[in-house]
Amino acid sequence: SQQGEEDPQALSIQEGENATMNCSYKTSINNLQWYRQNSGRGLVHLILIRSNEREKHSGRLRVTLDTSKKSSSLLITASRAADTASYFCATDEGSGNTPLVFGKGTRLSVIA
Amino acid sequence: EPEVTQTPSHQVTQMGQEVILRCVPISNHLYFYWYRQILGQKVEFLVSFYNNEISEKSEIFDDQFSVERPDGSNFTLKIRSTKLEDSAMYFCASRPTGGNGYTFGSGTRLTVV
């Protein structure tokens, strides 16, 4: 089943602007995670938000979670050209070995 | 900081050949995973492994795939007879018992020609 669908699929902004990416999911979750991937490279874990949390910050990243709407958002403030990457949300149902389920990702381009 | 190590970083193989992708998970982690990502597409779950056996697998993980933990540190993914459509980035991940923190390796890019 589809889970963790991000929008927009692609986002292009100027350096210094904020970037907001959204993720929707279908099932109950234990936590939701955001990952970054530079083109052709590995997945880098950015932030994890648990189902009982509503907002979390890490540096220039701000993640919100609305379990009633089954949605999350990732905000990158004061973007830099180096933030150019694909960003994926992944949901974790937290039951035993249930694996992370990834969305299709948002391709962010930050133009200097 | 502990890392998940994958080798090789890039492998090119002829269609029909067998390949083994290797991963060294973080030493105190007990859950291991393989994911793949076809170029430009989403990251897809293949298989999870716990207590020396497969605990869950996706429909992608058919009879041509197998996983093994041959020596207590390595975690391998074998593809018996590769097809062109197996070309993808393969990621290994591990996480500790009771924790939510997954650590992913940097991936192996498999190209089947």
pLDDT in tens, A80-111: 999 999 999 999 887 666 788 999 899 999 99
Looking at residue A1, what is its pLDDT?
Answer: 32
Tokens of A52: 């009982």
| Alpha carbon separation from A44 to A48, A87, B64, B105 (Å, rounded) | 12, 9, 29, 9
Of A42, A96, A102, nearest to B105 by CB-CB distance is: A42
Q: CA of B4, closest CA in chain A: separation in Å?
A: 11
Q: What is the mean pLDDT of residues A18-43?
A: 91
Cβ–Cβ of B56/A104 closer than 8 Å?
Answer: no
Separation between Cα atoms, residue B40 and residue B85, nearest integer Å = 13
Minimum mean pLDDT range among A6-10, A58-62, B33-37: A6-10
Tokens of A42: 């590995």
3-state secondary structure of A58: strand
Q: CA of A71, closest CA in chain B: separation in Å?
A: 18
DSSP state of B40: T
Using the predicted structure, report yes or no on whether residue A3 has a pLDDT greater than 70. Answer: no
Looking at residue B70, what is its pLDDT?
Answer: 85
Q: What is the pLDDT along chain B (113 residues), one digit of tens a residue?
A: 778 999 999 999 999 999 999 999 998 888 999 999 998 888 999 999 988 899 999 999 999 999 999 887 899 999 999 999 999 999 999 988 766 678 899 999 999 99
DSSP state of B85: G
Burial class (CB in 10 A: 0-12, 13-18, 19+), B33: buried
Beta bridge partners of B93: B33, B104
Looking at residue B78, what is its pLDDT?
Answer: 97
- For A39-58, the pLDDT digits (tens) are 878 898 999 999 999 999 99
Cβ–Cβ of A103/B104 closer than 8 Å?
Answer: no
Looking at residue B57, what is its pLDDT?
Answer: 94
Q: What is the mean pLDDT of residues A29-37?
A: 93
Residues 6+ apart with CB under 8 A from B98: none
DSSP state of A98: P
Beta bridge partners of B104: B93
Percent share of chain A, pLDDT over 70: 94
Other CB atoms within a 10 A radius of the CB of residue B76 amount to: 16
Higher-pLDDT residue of A63 and A3 is A63
Which of the residues B6, B43, B103, B109 would you substitute to probe the A interface, choosing the one with the greatest number of A C-beta atoms within 10 Å?
B43
3-state secondary structure of A81: helix
Looking at residue B9, what is its pLDDT?
Answer: 94
The values of phi and psi at residue A73, to 5°, are: -135, 150
Q: How many helices (H) and strands (E) does chain A have?
A: 0, 11
Which of the residues B87, B97, B102 would you substitute to probe the A interface, choosing the one with the greatest number of A C-beta atoms within 10 Å?
B102
